A and B are shown apart, each in its own frame.
Chain A
Amino acid sequence: MTNPTLRIDDLRLGFKTWSGTIDVLHGISLHIRKGERVALVGESGSGKSVTARIVLGMLQQLKSARISGTVEFEGINLETLKPASRHALRGTAMSMSMIFQDPTSSLNPVYPIFTLFREVLQRAEPGIDTETARRKAIAALADVAINEPERVLESYAFQLSGGMNQRVMIAMALANNPALLLADEPGTALDVTVQAQTLRLMSELVEKHQTSVLFISHNLGVVREFADRVYVIYKGNIVEQGPTAGLFDNPQHPYTRALLSAVPRITGGGIPDIEDDPAQFLAPLFAHQGYSEKELLK
């Protein structure tokens, strides 16, 4: 079988502080196959976002970060790469790109969208001329259902709505046809209807391009709609993994159960009572039948 797009094995992360090392990730393992959409779900501070940043190589430069374990991108162990070739994996053609929480503040406010778009395209094609860049940008914006791409390209981020900026972000992230898209709580800063709209768009596009996605979220509703498989992370440990439907219908780990029961129901009852016994949340990893790393990576 071919190499998965991303394989993380026993990844550990600690931050060195004055009072000793604080462990953030306690050896997590996950993988994403080509075209697969995998969600990493957990509460704030569980280690979701740092995982994405390690994959991109953005935490390695921090002096206080202690990282061990394996991160493989299409079979290449990233830790063995020189910094320059590692850097070359970000944003370039067939590599990785990322979408962030708040689209409007993730776009540089002093340049129009086209200037930012061209910089992104230049990562894949350094010598790209303005005309080609404009044509590609217009096509990419049309892909995310933007009606007047020319006008949007001339605009600044602060002139566009949040939903519009989110589409621009998605278009930029997919412009260079990445093999892996890291979506860190995409659109959490947007209102729910706009978030659902843009996620559906993203979903269609990644399906079309066969892009692998690591989808990071705390929003279970969004995850259920978007992901093929789910990893649940709690305090730096993967506690449960399985197919989306199976995991949502039949959660096995106490933490997953608590997480699912914490979703407020629109049918009433207010905020549900949550069984809050952190001790049992630390129970060992539960992998659904046929969905453990060992079985999947055979």
Chain B
Amino acid sequence: MSPFFRLLAKRLGTSLIVLIGVSLLIFAIARVIPGDPARIALGPNATAEAVLALREKLHLDASFLTQYGYFLADLARGDLGISLYTNRPVMTDIAQFLPATLELVLVSGLMMVAIGLPLGILSARRRGTWVDHTIRLVTMLGVSAPAFVWAVVLMLAFSYFLKIFPIAGRLSDSITVPSMTGFMLIDTLLAGNLRAFADAVWHLILPAFALALSGIGQAARLVRSNMVETYERPYIEMAEAYGFPEKRIARRYAFRPSLIPSLTIIGLDFAAMLGSAFLVEAVYAWPGLSRYGVAVILRKDLNAIVGTVLIISAMFLIVNIIVDILVSIINPRIRLSQRAS
């Protein structure tokens, strides 16, 4: 088996264990929260018989382990149960709401890398100058406030006062495109509607940027500090002694080696955006997983809570696997030790 697939298999295996652990934990927590899910679902006017019948149907009176057993058996078939809030399979709900969240997070992650890395590199190359000081100050601002604060501030500034960007939503009301993937940027392109695509981008920029800001700041600061540290290494002096161009030294001698420690943290930051996305979605009325998540928690919709948390954990783990693979690609030490084993 090639070392790449060995790594992948190993990571997938450990991820599965983590997922089972998470499911057990959230399964337990959801059941400890006070309140009777059947009663909440049926409303105050339901008869005691109806409530009892629903409890029976949901196996709520069975022991915890029996309930978990039912859950695992269903999960193995790809069934997360029925949501008491929407009366639809939880899988269907997630499939509907997740793409909006993913789209937001992916674009934010892209911004984080595309803006954060160059800022960090520039800051490190011009370390000690006013360029460096300015970048550090600005990125400090990005890091020092949570995403939902930026969401409100940016909305006020650019949507309310300057009226450059729309206030909320994914698409203007006047435009409709058939939903195929749930990703608005892809759907509009599939529909061949460029005006709709531009509209979707226009709606996406502000929330994505608000969500990305702290990530941009983190990435820039991290890349800068790791790169400045690498600039103290003897191989930088050697590269200078050999008269390599400054740009080449920055890219191949300072940035490349420093990327290895940076990448792991940037990956975690990216995954953490899934959590912050909930609040940004709330501010921009973004029809993603957040509204669904909050609603099902308040209604003690057990299946939906467990399903939502599991999906988010799975996303986290997938991002981690991708980062692990990337690190093993850029770090020859790891790559070679895998080949040897």
A266 to chain B, nearest CB (A): 31
- B332 interface residue (CB < 8 Å to A): yes
Contacts A108-B252, A108-B253, A109-B332 given; does A98 touch B241 at CB 8 Å: yes
Check B336 against A105 for contact (C-beta < 8 Å).
Answer: no
- B242 contacts A110, C-beta separation under 8 Å: no
Closest to B333 in A: A158
- Chain B residue at minimum C-beta to C-beta distance from A182: B241
Q: A106 is contacted by which of B237, B248, B331 (Cβ under 8 Å)? A: B237
**Cβ–Cβ contact A109 & B336, under 8 A:** no
The residue of chain B having its C-beta at the shortest distance from the C-beta of A109 within the complex is B257
User: A27 CA to B243 CA in the complex, in Å?
Assistant: 27
A-contact bits for B226-244, CB 8 A (1 contact / 0 none):
0000000111011111111
Let me know if A89 and B238 touch, CB within 8 A: no
Task: Give the residue name and chain of the B residue nearest to A115 (CB).
Answer: B252
Instruction: Tell me whether A91 and B233 are in contact in the complex, defined as CB-CB below 8 angstroms, given that A110-B256, A111-B252 are known contacts.
Output: no
In the assembled complex, the CB of B245 is this many whole angstroms from the nearest CB of chain A, namely 9
| CB contact list, B284-340 vs A, under 8 A | 330-333, 336
Q: How far is the CA of A101 from the CA of B234 in the complex (A)?
A: 9
Chain B proximity mask over A94-106: 1 for CB below 8 Å, otherwise 0:
0001101110011
Whether A106 and B242, one on each chain, are in contact in the complex, defined by CB atoms closer than 8 angstroms, is no
| Cβ of A120 under 8 Å from chain B | yes
Main secondary structure of the interface of B (DSSP, over half): helix
Which A residues are CB-close (under 8 A) to B234? Answer: 100-102, 105-106
Could you say which residues of chain B place their CB within 8 Å of the CB of A101? Answer: 234
Contact B243 A159 (CB under 8 A): no
Is there contact, CB below 8 Å, between A92 and B243?
Answer: yes
Cα distance, A156 to B248, chains bound together (Å): 19
Query: Is A91 a contact partner of B244 (Cβ separation < 8 A)?
Result: yes
* A91 and B243 contact, CB distance less than 8 A: yes
With known contacts A106-B234, A156-B332, A120–B256 Cβ distance under 8 A? no
Scan residues 214-266 of chain B and give those whose CB is less than 8 A from a CB of chain A.
233-235, 237-244, 248, 252-253, 256-257, 260
- Nearest-CB distance from A51 to chain B (Å)? 14
Interface size class of A (residues with CB under 8 A): 20 to 34
A106 to B235, CA, bound (A): 4
Residues of B within 8 A of A92 (CB): 243
Chain B residue contacts of A106, Cβ below 8 A: 234-235, 237-238
Residue of A nearest to B259 (CB): A110
Cα(A44)–Cα(B142), bound, Å: 45
What B residues does A111 contact at CB under 8 A? Answer: 252, 256
Residue of B nearest to A86 (CB): B243
- Residue of B240, B241, B331 with most partner-chain A CB within 10 A: B241
Q: Which residues of A contact B244 (CB under 8 A)?
A: 91, 119, 123
Provide the bound-state CA to CA distance between A107 and B257, in Å: 11
Q: Mark A132-168, 1 if CB is under 8 A from B, else 0.
A: 0000000000000000000000001011000000000
- Cβ of A56 < 8 Å from any Cβ of B? yes
Contact A56 B235 (CB under 8 A): no
Q: What distance in Å separates the Cβ of A96 from its nearest Cβ neighbour in chain B?
A: 8
Q: How far is the CB of A215 from chain B (nearest CB, A)?
A: 16
Instruction: Please give, as numbers and ranges, the residues of chain B lying within 8 Å of A108 by CB-CB distance.
Output: 235, 239, 252-253, 256-257
A91/B336 in contact, CB under 8 A: no
Q: How far is the CA of A144 from the CA of B234 in the complex (A)?
A: 22
B240–A110 CB distance below 8 A: no
Name the contact of A110 in the complex, choosing from B237, B243, B332 (C-beta under 8 A): B332
Q: Which of B233, B237, B336 has the largest number of chain A CB atoms within 10 A?
A: B237
User: Within 8 Å of chain B (Cβ to Cβ): is A31?
Assistant: no
- Chain A residue, CB-CB nearest to B244: A119
Query: Complex Cα distance A19/B312, Å?
Result: 57
Contact B240 A58, beta carbon cutoff 8 Å: yes
Asked if A90 meets B242 with Cβ closer than 8 Å, knowing A102-B234, A110-B256, the reply is yes
> What's the Cα separation between A156 and B339 when bound, in Å?
14
Q: Does A88 contact B (CB under 8 A)?
A: yes
Q: How far is the CB of B323 from chain A (nearest CB, A)?
A: 17
Contacts of A16 in B (CB 8 A): none
Q: Is the CB of A110 within 8 A of B330?
A: yes
Query: Is A97 a contact of B241 with CB atoms below 8 Å?
Result: yes
- Residues A87 and B243 in contact, CB atoms below 8 Å apart: yes
Closest chain A residue, CB of each to CB of B237: A100
In the bound assembly, the distance between CA atoms of A100 and B235 in angstroms comes to 9
Interfacial chain B residues near A102, Cβ < 8 Å: 234
Instruction: Tell me the smallest distance from the CB of B151 to a CB of chain A, in Å.
Output: 38
Q: Which residue of B lies closest to A111 (CB)?
A: B252
Whether A156 and B336, one on each chain, are in contact in the complex, defined by CB atoms closer than 8 angstroms, is yes
Other than A89-B243, A105-B234, A108-B253, give 12 A-B pairs with Cβ distance below 8 A. Answer: A58-B240, A91-B243, A92-B243, A105-B233, A107-B235, A107-B238, A108-B235, A110-B260, A111-B256, A123-B243, A156-B336, A182-B241
Q: List 5 A-B contacts (CB under 8 A).
A: A58-B240, A90-B243, A91-B244, A105-B234, A106-B234
